[in-house]
Amino acid sequence: MLLSDKKIKEYIKSGKILVDPFDENLVGPASLDLRLGFKFRVFKNIDVEAIDPKEYKDDIIFRTETDRYIIHHGKYSDLYILRDQKTPFIVHPGEFVLASIYEYLKLPDNIAAQIQGRSSYARLGLIIHTSAGWVDPGYSGHLTLEVVNVNKIPIKLYPITCIAQISFFELDSVETPYHARKDSKYVDEGGATESRIYKDFEK
C-alpha cells in the first residue's frame, strides 16, 4: 500500500519511520521531499584500462582542505564535503557524481520506499538517480544519489534544497529485512558512499 500524506506524517511523528531532521512542510500528497546533503563524490580522470568490479576498492589515500571544501582523495574518486550551505557544487556536462541526502532515513521491517528525482531539476537536464531508486525494508542511513548532468551547461546544486522525492510502501511482512541480510553493503551509510560491488564476488 502506498502511504498517503496523512500516513506519512503519522508514521514519522510516531517514530515508525525515522526521518531526521523532519520538516512537515516537505510532505506531499503521497511523498516526502528530500534535501541535498553536503557530500559529493566525483570520479577522477585517471589512466586505468578499466574499473574491475571484483577489485574495486576506493579507499581514502589522503585529505586536503580549501576554504570551500574538505576533500578526501581516493584511488578512483574524490569526496568533496562542502563547508556551508551557501556554497554550490557544480555538476559539469556529462559528469557523473554521487551525492548525499541531508536527511537520515530509517525504515521499519515492513516498509519499503522509492526515490525519484524532482521534475524541476529534470527539466534542467539533471538525472538524480541513474538506476538505484529502490529502498529496501529495514534500510538505514543517508541515501546516495547517482547524479548525471545531461545538459550542455553546468548546473549548480545547493545543500539543504529539495532535490528528490521519496514514496513509502507498507508491506504485509518481510522474512529478512535489509539490515538483517548478511550481504547488505550499505547499512547506515553516510551518503555519497562509494560502490562496494566487490563484496558481491566474496560470496
* Residues marked as catalytic: 146
Cis check: omega of the bond before 21, within 30 degrees of 0: yes
Gap between the Cα atoms of 1 and 170, Å rounded: 5
Distance in Å from the first CA to the final CA of the chain: 34
- The grid coordinates listed for 175 are 522474512
Write the DSSP assignment of 104-171 as a string of letters: EEE--TTEEEEEEE-HHHHTTTEES-SS--EE-TT-EE--EEEEEE-SSS-EEE-TTSEEEEEEEEE-
